[in-house]
Amino acid sequence: MATDAEFFSQLAEQNWFSDTEGQLSVDVIETADEMIIRSAIAGVSSENLDISVTTDTVTIRGTRSHDCEDTGSKTVHVRECYWGAFSRSIVLPCHIRPEESDATLKNGILTITLKKVEMRSKVSVIELDE
């Protein structure tokens, strides 16, 4: 029979979410003429990051990997960091111009800047046919 320490060590080593992707936490900020999305993605290189932008949605996909080998000679006491594929789709509260989007990755912070589309109200008068 396993001791409590052995049981919880084995429990911590289980990869409970091996078939699921991680999800990013994001901040979405709106200014008068831009939408700004920020996310802390430490440990992800720009080569392992894909950002797709449409007029009303931003999707961020990537992979976070580490150099540590998991071997039987280690005891994992706590495993809180997510390693592997992740994705996040954000539906924006307004339309943007995808072709004028910009993204930077600096010190583990991803910042995506999106130019908003100016929405002009246009009133159309419809005449009734009699």
The percent of residues in the chain predicted with pLDDT above 70, rounded, is: 78
pLDDT at 56 over 80: yes
Q: Report pLDDT digits (tens) over 95-126.
A: 999 999 999 999 999 999 999 998 766 777 88
**What's the start-to-end Cα distance of the chain, in Å?**
89
Domain assignments of the chain as residue spans, ordered by start: 22-115
List the beta bridge partners of residue 53. 58
For the full predicted model, state whether its pTM sits above 0.75.
Answer: no
Specify the CATH number of the domain 22-115.
Answer: 2.60.40.790
Comparing CA positions, the residue from 93, 82, 99 lying closest to residue 37 is 93
Alpha carbons 39 and 104: distance in angstroms, whole number? 11
State residue 40's pLDDT score: 93
The percent of residues in the chain predicted with pLDDT above 90, rounded, is: 51
